[in-house]
Chains A and B, each alone.
Chain A
Amino acid sequence: MPDGATNTGIGASVKRVEDKRFLTGKGNYVDDINRPGQTYAYILRSPHAHAKINSIDTSAAKSASGVVAVFTGEDMQVGSIPCGWQVDSADGTPMREPGHPALAQGKVRYVGDQVAIVIADTLDQAKDAAEKINVDYTPLKAVVDLRDALADTTLVHDEIETNISYDWAIGDKAEVDAVFDGAAHVTKMDIVNNRLIPNAMEPRAAIGDFDRASGEYTLYTTTQNPHVIRLLMGAFVLSIPEHKLRVVAPDVGGGFGSKIFHYAEEAITTWAAGQIARPIKWTAERSESFITDAHGRDHLSHAELALDANGKFLGLRVETAANMGAYLSTFASAVPTYLHATLLAGVYTTPVIYCNIKAVFTNTVPVDAYRGAGRPEASYLLERLVDRAARETGLDQVDIRRRNFIPSDAFPYQTPVALAYDSGDYEATLSSALKLAEVDGFAARKAEAAGRGKKRGLGYSTYIEACGVAPSAVAGALGARAGLYESAEVRVHPTGSVTVFTGSHSHGQGHETTFAQLVSDQLGIPIENVDISHGDTGKVQFGMGTYGSRSLAVGGEAIVKATDKIISKAKKIAAHVLEASAEDIEFAGGNFTVAGTDRSMAFGEVALTAYVPHNFPHEELEPGLDETAFYDPANFTFPGGCHICEVEVDPDTGTVEVVSFTAVDDVGRVINPMIVEGQVHGGVAQGIGQALLEGCSYDEDGQLLTGSFMDYAMPRAHNLPSFKVATEETLCAHNSLGVKGCGEVGAIGSPPAVINAVVDALADMGVTDVAMPATPQTVWRAIQTAKS
C-alpha cells in the first residue's frame, strides 16, 4: 500500500461512501424531487409506427379540470434534436440527418413518438385530459425489418429519398479480396446481434423549472452527462445560453448508455416550464420506457474470415446493416462505425480487414449505445467466427486463439483498422481463465452430465474493447461534434477537507468512493475528508460525463492532474513558511517536509495558510488552494480478457443452464477491487441476458411486442450462477494511473462465450449455430433442424 495511505488507498476494497443513503431510503433520484408550485406532465404518444398527423384537437383537454396547458408540435417551434457524431459515407457524402423534432411536426415515425404534452396540477388530471385530445392520423405503411428498409420501398423520411443514413467503410476492399482469393480456408457466417432494451431500473424522468426573476432555466434529469445535455439542448434545440441553463442529474438509477442521450422530454419540459413559468415534472412509466428509451445493438452482418493452412488469420471482411430506428440519436452514428468496425481486429494479428456499414432508418425507437456499444457486436461477430473456424478446420478452440494472439511483446500494436493498442497480455488472461474455469476437468463433467441426459458445453471468448474514448483531435477528425476530455476541480477548504468537482457522473459506479480513494491516496488525508461532487452544471465547471468506461481513465486522470497542481502550489507555500526552497520540499503521508530535516507542515496547516495568508509568498502566489484541470487522453484504453462459459443443455426441451461463468479481465490498475468485481458481475449478467433471455421484438406494423417485463425477459437471480471473476494487470501506457476501465468488459466479453458454449454442447448433434437469445424454443428448433 502506498505511503501515507490508510486502508482506504489505491488497491483497497473500500466500502462505498454512497451506500448508506441508498440503503436507508435517502437516495435523491429525480422523481424524489418536488419543486414549489410544481405541475405534472403526461406526454401523449403516437400509437402508430408511421402516420401523417392531419390535425390535433386539444380544446376539450385544455378546458379539463386542473389542466394548466396543452402544447403540440405546432406550439413548440424549436431546433431539431441533434446527433453528436457525423459519419460520412465512403463516397464522401455527409450522413443523411433528417430533422428530429421534440414534438412531432406533421408526422409520427415510431410507436411512442411524442405528439403533445398535457400539463396539469396533478398527474391524474393530466392523464385524464390527455384522453380528450383528438388526433386525426392517416396511418402509413411502416418499415420495421432491416432488410425491408434496405430495399427503400417504404421510406421513413421522404425528404432524404432513402432509408440509408450513411454507407461507410474502413479498409482496402481490393486488398482484402485478394487475400481471400489465395486463402486455404474461408469461414462464412450470417450473424444477427439481437436488439435489446436497456431497462435501467429507474425510469427516465425530467423536471423543467424556470425562474422568472433571473430568466434562468433548470432541468433536473436522469442523465449520465448533464453538461452534454446542457450543450445539446441549450445550443441546438432551445437556444438557451449556458449561463441561463442549469442541468442537474442527482442520483441516477442506472444508465448503461441509455441515459447518455438528449431525449425529447428534457427539451419539452424545459421549454414548457418557460411557457407556463411553473415547474413541470414528467416521469416515465415502465411501458413508456420500453417504447421511448433508445434501444441497443440490432446489427445484421455477413462476415468472412480467411485462414492459411496453419490456422493463421489472413483477412476479415464484414458487411453490416445497423438499425438506427426512426431518428439519429446522440451517439447512434458512431456506434457501428468507430466503436464496432475499428474493433474487428480483436486480440488477433489479422493483417487486413475490410468492413462496410450501412446505417438504416426504420419505424422503430431510435437505437443507440447500450453497455459496450458496438464493441459487444464486434466481439460477438469475431468470436463466433473464430469458434466456427476452429470447428471447420479441426483446430482446438484454445489453440486457434493462441496461434493468432497479438504477442505480449508486440505493443504498441497498430491494427489494420485504425486503433493502436498500447498494452495487453492475452495469453495471461487466457491461461488464468483456463485455470479458474477448471477446464482440465471439463471432459469428466461432460461425461457425468451425459449420464443425466444433459449436453454439456464449453465456450470461449477472448476479446478486446476500446474505451475512455479518446483524443479530442482524433475524434474531431472522425466527425465527433464535441471534445472528449474530462475536467476536475479540487477545492481544498481552509481546514484541510477537500471537495472534488468532477465532470464524470456516477449512476451506480461508486465514484464517490473510488475518486475519494484516489484523492485521499494522493493527498495523504483521510477518505472521510474528501467529498466528491458531480451531476450539477451549477456546481461543476464542465464535464463530458460517464459512458464508454471513461470515468477513471479520463475523469480520474483529470482529478490526478488537479491534485498535482494542488501539491505543487502547497509545496511552495510550505517552502515559504519553512524557509526552504520549494525543490527541497518532500510531500508524503500528508506532510510537507524539508528534505533531510524534521521541519514539516501538515496538509491542513498548509491549507489554512493558503486561506489565512499572513505568512505567505504573496509576490509569487495568489491566496487560496483550489485547482482545476482538464485532461484530454492521448489514446483510447484497451481492456481485454478471456471469458469461459460452461452450460448444460436439456436436448429434449432446449433449456440452457449456465452452470459456470469465468471472467478474467485486464482492466489495468485496479483502484477498488470490490467495485471492479461488481462492475464485471453486472456486465456479465447483461451479456448472459443478451445471449439467453433478452430479445426485443416488433410486429410487422411496428408495434412493440416485448413492451413490458412480462414479455421482455430480464435476467433474474435464478437465471444466473455466481460468477468466477479475476483480473490480470497490464498497465495502460498513456495515463499516470495505468487504468483502462471496467464498466463494459462484462457485457462485451460474455455473449459469444455463452453461445459458443451452447453450440459446443450441441455440436455432436450437428448444430452449428444458435441465434441470440438462445431461448428454449430457439435451441429446440436448432436441434430439430440439425436432426432433419
Chain B
Amino acid sequence: MPTVSMTVNGKAVSGEVESRTLLVQFIREHLELTGTHVGCDTSQCGACVVHVNGEVAKSCTMLAVQAEGANVTTIEGLANGDDLHPMQEAFRNNHGLQCGFCTPGMVMTAVDLANKNKNPSEQQIREGLEGNICRCTGYHNIVKSVAEGARNMGG
C-alpha cells in the first residue's frame, strides 16, 4: 500500500492508504478530522471542500495520493485557537447555518471566494457558491454571512 505524506492544518502527517483511497477518506478516517463531510458521490454538493495548496478542492474528487506533499487546510484548521476566523464568525452572526452539515464546505468555499474577491456582490456570492448545496437555509443568510465575512477579512 502506498504511503502518503502531507501537511494538514500546519502539521506533518503521513499514512498508508490504498491507491483508491480518496483524500476525504484519508482526512476523516486516518486523521480523524471529521469536520470535512461527504454529502454526495458525484462531486456535486461541496460538503467536502478543503483547501489544497491554498486553492479550494472537493476532497471527494481527489485521491489521497494526489495530495502527496501538499499543504491542506480543513475546517478544523481555520480558527485561531478559540478565536473564530472572520468567516466563521460571520456565519454565526448571520445565522448562516442550521443543521451544520454543509457548513464546513460552505465556509471553506466562502473563504476562498473572499480571498479572490474582497468585496463580492450578492450576485457574485450566489454564483461563487454554485458548487455547494445547502438544504436548510435557502442561502439567504449564507449570502449575508459571506458578504460580512469578506468585509471582515480585510477587504
Chain A contact residues, CB within 8 Å of chain B: 15-16, 18-27, 29, 31-32, 124, 199-203, 251-254, 256, 285-287, 507-510, 674-675, 677-678, 681-686, 708-710, 714-718, 720, 722-723, 746
- Given A23-B103, A510-B98, A681-B139, 19 extra CB contacts under 8 A: A16-B95, A19-B100, A22-B97, A23-B84, A23-B100, A25-B76, A25-B104, A27-B35, A27-B101, A253-B37, A253-B101, A674-B95, A681-B140, A685-B140, A686-B135, A709-B44, A709-B133, A716-B139, A717-B127
**Contacts A16-B92, A124-B20, A254-B135; A25 near B36 (Cβ below 8 A):** yes
Picked from A24, A251, A677, A685, the residue with its CB within 8 Å of the CB of B78 is A24
Give the Cβ gap from B129 to chain A, nearest Cβ, in Å. 4
**Contacts A23-B103, A678-B141, A717-B130; A710 near B84 (Cβ below 8 A):** no
Q: Are B79 and A716 in contact (CB under 8 A)?
A: no
Q: Which residues of A contact B34 (CB under 8 A)?
A: 25, 27, 29, 31-32
Which residues B64-89 have CB closer than 8 A to chain A? 74-76, 78-79, 84, 88
Q: CA–CA, A31 to B35, complex, Å? A: 11
Q: Which residues of A contact B135 (CB under 8 A)?
A: 199-201, 254, 256, 682, 686, 714
Q: Are A254 and B99 in contact (CB under 8 A)?
A: yes
Residue B136 interfacial (CB < 8 Å): yes
Q: Which residues of B contact A22 (CB under 8 A)?
A: 97, 100, 103-104
Q: Which residues of B contact A710 (CB under 8 A)?
A: 42, 44
Q: CA–CA, A23 to B76, complex, Å? A: 9
Q: Which residues of B contact A684 (CB under 8 A)?
A: 138
Picked from B18, B39, B100, B141, the residue with its CB within 8 Å of the CB of A18 is B100
Interface mask (B19-56 → A, CB under 8 Å = 1, otherwise 0):
01000000010000111111111101101000000000
Q: Which residues of A contact B95 (CB under 8 A)?
A: 15-16, 674-675, 677-678
Picked from B45, B75, B91, B125, the residue with its CB within 8 Å of the CB of A19 is B91
Q: Which residues of B contact A23 (CB under 8 A)?
A: 75, 79, 84, 88, 91-92, 97, 100, 103, 107
Interface mask (B120-137 → A, CB under 8 Å = 1, otherwise 0):
001101110110111111
Picked from B40, B76, B91, B103, the residue with its CB within 8 Å of the CB of A709 is B40
Q: Which residues of A contact B123 (CB under 8 A)?
A: 718
Q: Are B140 and A286 in contact (CB under 8 A)?
A: no
Q: CA–CA, A488 to B104, complex, Å? A: 32
Chain B contact residues, CB within 8 Å of chain A: 18, 20, 28, 33-42, 44-45, 47, 74-76, 78-79, 84, 88, 91-93, 95, 97-104, 107, 122-123, 125-127, 129-130, 132-143
Q: Which residues of A contact B33 (CB under 8 A)?
A: 25
**Contacts A24-B35, A253-B101, A714-B135; A708 near B40 (Cβ below 8 A):** yes
Q: CA–CA, A746 to B140, complex, Å? A: 13
**19 CB < 8 A contacts A-B:** A16-B92, A22-B103, A23-B84, A23-B92, A24-B35, A26-B35, A27-B35, A200-B101, A201-B37, A254-B101, A286-B39, A287-B42, A678-B98, A682-B137, A685-B140, A709-B133, A717-B129, A717-B130, A718-B123
Chain A CB count within 10 A is highest, among B28, B34, B129, B130, for B34
Q: Which residues of B contact A686 (CB under 8 A)?
A: 135, 138
Residue of A nearest to B74 (CB): A25
Give the Cβ gap from A750 to chain B, nearest Cβ, in Å. 10
Residue of B nearest to A513 (CB): B95
Q: Are A201 and B92 in contact (CB under 8 A)?
A: no
Give the Cβ gap from A317 to chain B, nearest Cβ, in Å. 35
Q: Are B97 and A720 in contact (CB under 8 A)?
A: no
**Contacts A199-B135, A674-B95; A286 near B40 (Cβ below 8 A):** yes
Give the Cβ gap from A742 to chain B, nearest Cβ, in Å. 13
Q: Are B97 and A718 in contact (CB under 8 A)?
A: no
Residue of B nearest to A510 (CB): B98
Give the Cβ gap from A14 to chain B, nearest Cβ, in Å. 10
Chain B CB count within 10 A is highest, among A18, A200, A716, for A716
Q: Which residues of B contact A124 (CB under 8 A)?
A: 18, 20
Give the Cβ gap from B105 to chain A, nearest Cβ, in Å. 9
Give the Cβ gap from B35 to chain A, nearest Cβ, in Å. 2
Q: CA–CA, A202 to B45, complex, Å? A: 11
Q: Which residues of B contact A718 (CB under 8 A)?
A: 123, 126-127, 129-130
Give the Cβ gap from A219 to chain B, nearest Cβ, in Å. 20
Q: Are B139 and A508 in contact (CB under 8 A)?
A: no
Q: Are A24 and B133 in contact (CB under 8 A)?
A: no
10 residue pairs, one from A and one from B, having the closest CB atoms: A25-B35, A22-B100, A253-B101, A685-B138, A508-B99, A709-B44, A508-B98, A681-B138, A32-B34, A25-B75
Picked from B44, B100, B122, the residue with its CB within 8 Å of the CB of A253 is B100
Chain B CB count within 10 A is highest, among A683, A717, A720, for A717
Across the A-B interface, how many residue pairs have beta carbons closer than 8 Å?
Answer: 179
Residue of B nearest to A32 (CB): B34
Q: CA–CA, A202 to B38, complex, Å? A: 8
Give the Cβ gap from B5 to chain A, nearest Cβ, in Å. 22
Q: Are A716 and B42 in contact (CB under 8 A)?
A: no
Q: Are A507 and B138 in contact (CB under 8 A)?
A: no
Residue of A nearest to B40 (CB): A286
Q: CA–CA, A124 to B25, complex, Å? A: 12
Q: Are B35 and A682 in contact (CB under 8 A)?
A: no
Q: CA–CA, A715 to B102, complex, Å? A: 14
Q: Which residues of B contact A681 (CB under 8 A)?
A: 137-141
Q: CA–CA, A715 to B137, complex, Å? A: 11
Q: CA–CA, A253 to B35, complex, Å? A: 12
Residue of A nearest to B142 (CB): A717
Q: CA–CA, A738 to B126, complex, Å? A: 37
Q: Which residues of A contact B99 (CB under 8 A)?
A: 200-202, 251-254, 507-508
Q: CA–CA, A697 to B33, complex, Å? A: 37
Q: Which residues of B contact A203 (CB under 8 A)?
A: 38-39
**Contacts A15-B93, A682-B98, A709-B45; A714 near B133 (Cβ below 8 A):** yes
Picked from A19, A199, A677, A722, the residue with its CB within 8 Å of the CB of B143 is A722
**Contacts A24-B78, A254-B135; A201 near B39 (Cβ below 8 A):** yes
Q: Which residues of B contact A287 (CB under 8 A)?
A: 41-42
Q: Which residues of A contact B84 (CB under 8 A)?
A: 20, 23-24
Picked from A20, A200, A683, A722, the residue with its CB within 8 Å of the CB of B92 is A20
Q: CA–CA, A510 to B97, complex, Å? A: 10
Q: CA–CA, A16 to B129, complex, Å? A: 23
Residue of A nearest to B141 (CB): A678
Q: CA–CA, A83 to B48, complex, Å? A: 36
Give the Cβ gap from B108 to chain A, nearest Cβ, in Å. 10
Q: CA–CA, A709 to B127, complex, Å? A: 17
Q: CA–CA, A443 to B106, complex, Å? A: 39
Q: Which residues of A contact B130 (CB under 8 A)?
A: 716-718
Q: CA–CA, A171 to B142, complex, Å? A: 46
Q: Which residues of A contact B97 (CB under 8 A)?
A: 19, 22-23
Q: Which residues of A contact B91 (CB under 8 A)?
A: 19, 23
Give the Cβ gap from A677 to chain B, nearest Cβ, in Å. 8
Q: Which residues of B contact A683 (CB under 8 A)?
A: 138
**Contacts A24-B84, A507-B99; A285 near B137 (Cβ below 8 A):** no
Give the Cβ gap from B142 to chain A, nearest Cβ, in Å. 7
Q: Are B100 and A24 in contact (CB under 8 A)?
A: no
Q: CA–CA, A26 to B20, complex, Å? A: 27
Q: Are A508 and B39 in contact (CB under 8 A)?
A: no
Give the Cβ gap from B121 to chain A, nearest Cβ, in Å. 12
Q: Which residues of A contact B101 (CB under 8 A)?
A: 27, 29, 200-202, 253-254
Chain A CB count within 10 A is highest, among B38, B101, B127, B138, for B138
Residue of A nearest to B108 (CB): A25
Q: CA–CA, A305 to B79, complex, Å? A: 59
Residue of A nearest to B134 (CB): A201
Picked from A253, A256, A678, A714, the residue with its CB within 8 Å of the CB of B137 is A678
Q: CA–CA, A531 to B139, complex, Å? A: 29
Give the Cβ gap from A453 to chain B, nearest Cβ, in Å. 21
Q: CA–CA, A286 to B18, complex, Å? A: 22
Residue of A nearest to B97 (CB): A22
Q: Which residues of A contact B20 (CB under 8 A)?
A: 124
Q: CA–CA, A540 to B111, complex, Å? A: 39
Give the Cβ gap from A29 to chain B, nearest Cβ, in Å. 7
